[in-house]
């Protein structure tokens, strides 16, 4: 077969591709529809950080850091809000692991399991357990969601809440170690 024949055969076969694609799409229409729905749900789950922070603020007005503290934290933010949230979350994880360790409990591999274990062993109260869950969800949105929905004000609120939680956990650790 020479080059001319290859080119002519290729051109002729290109006429069949649109028909083949239409048939494939028709056959796979239900799985493709489900995939599109899942992608839409993923976008919803990733959510808008600011909107989720506002929801959390409404539910937890009594534990939110004071506005003055939020303003002070905002001045200290030197990196992107997402970077600051990730860094702060690392401190939360470390505090949670430390309280489990101090209490002689095994430290699971996933953070969701760490949070569950803290609550099941009553190492943190319900209010701080809900705070931990909400901070984890906000962190997930920050990491997986749209970073354009996070401003320094929201990051400062996140950091302020995380500091409150870390201080609570540190107090529990001090209580435990002072009893020894």
Assess whether 12 and 53 both reside in one domain. no
Q: Are residues 147 and 61 in the same domain?
A: yes
Between vectors from CA 65 to CA 173 and to CA 78, what angle results, nearest 5°? 90
Q: What is the pLDDT of residue 98?
A: 93
pLDDT computed for residue 97 by the predictor: 92
Q: Binning pLDDT at 50, 70 and 90, where does residue 44 land?
A: very low
Question: Within this chain, do residues 20 and 93 fall inside the same structural domain, yes or no?
Answer: no
What is the CA angle 105-137-35, rounded to 5?
Answer: 115
Q: Are residues 26 and 77 in the same domain?
A: no
pLDDT surpassing 80 at residue 147? no
Q: Which domain holds residue 94?
A: 47-178
Cα 47 to Cα 76: distance, rounded to the nearest angstrom? 26
C-alpha dist (Å) from residue 109 to 14, 28, 74, 106? 52, 38, 32, 10
> Is 68 in the same domain as 118?
yes
Token pair recorded at residue 30? 């239900």
pLDDT at 170: 92
Q: What integer is the mean pLDDT of 145-158?
A: 79
Task: Answer whether 95's CB lies under 8 Å from 118's CB.
Answer: no
Residue 34 shares a structural domain with residue 106? no
pLDDT tens digits for range 160-174: 889 989 999 999 889
- Same structural domain for residues 95 and 12? no
User: How large is the average pLDDT for residues 44-69?
Assistant: 76
Residue 41 has pLDDT above 70, yes or no: no
Q: Are residues 159 and 102 in the same domain?
A: yes
Residue range 13-32: average pLDDT? 73
Same domain, 127 and 168: yes
- Residue 177's pLDDT is 84
Q: b/e map of 64-81 (b: 16 or more CB within 10 Å)?
A: bbeeebbeebbeebeeeb
Q: Are residues 25 and 72 in the same domain?
A: no
29 and 54 together in one domain: no
**Is the same domain home to 79 and 120?**
yes
Residue 13, pLDDT > 90, answer no
- The single residue listed with the structure tokens 């076969």 is 13
Q: What is the pTM of this model?
A: 0.68
**Confidence at residue 38, expressed as pLDDT on a 0 to 100 scale:** 72
Domain count, the chain: 2
Residue 130's pLDDT band (boundaries 50, 70, 90)?
A: confident
Q: What is the pLDDT of residue 101?
A: 92
Share of the chain above pLDDT 90, in %: 12
Spell out a b/e string for 91-120, using b for 16 or more CB atoms within 10 Å of the CB, else e: ebeebbbbbbebeebeeeeebeebbebbbe
Instruction: Say which CATH number the domain at 101 has.
Output: 1.20.120
């Amino acid at each position: 077969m020479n080059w001319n024949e290859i080119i002519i055969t290729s051109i002729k076969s290109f006429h069949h591709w649109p028909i083949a694609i239409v048939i494939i799409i028709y056959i796979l229409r239900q799985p493709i529809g489900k995939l599109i729905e899942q992608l839409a749900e993923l976008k919803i789950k990733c959510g808008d950080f600011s909107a989720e922070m506002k929801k959390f603020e409404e539910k937890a007005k009594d534990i939110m850091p004071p506005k003055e503290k939020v303003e002070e934290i905002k001045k200290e933010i030197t990196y992107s809000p997402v970077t600051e949230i990730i860094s702060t979350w690392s401190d939360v994880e470390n505090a949670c692991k430390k309280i489990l360790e101090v209490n002689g409990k095994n430290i699971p591999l996933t953070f969701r399991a760490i949070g569950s274990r803290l609550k099941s062993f009553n190492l943190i109260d319900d209010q701080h357990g809900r705070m931990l869950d909400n901070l984890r969800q906000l962190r997930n949105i920050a990491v997986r969601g749209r970073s354009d929905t996070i401003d320094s004000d929201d990051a400062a609120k996140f950091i302020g809440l995380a500091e409150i939680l870390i201080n609570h956990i540190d107090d529990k650790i001090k209580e435990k170690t002072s009893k020894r």
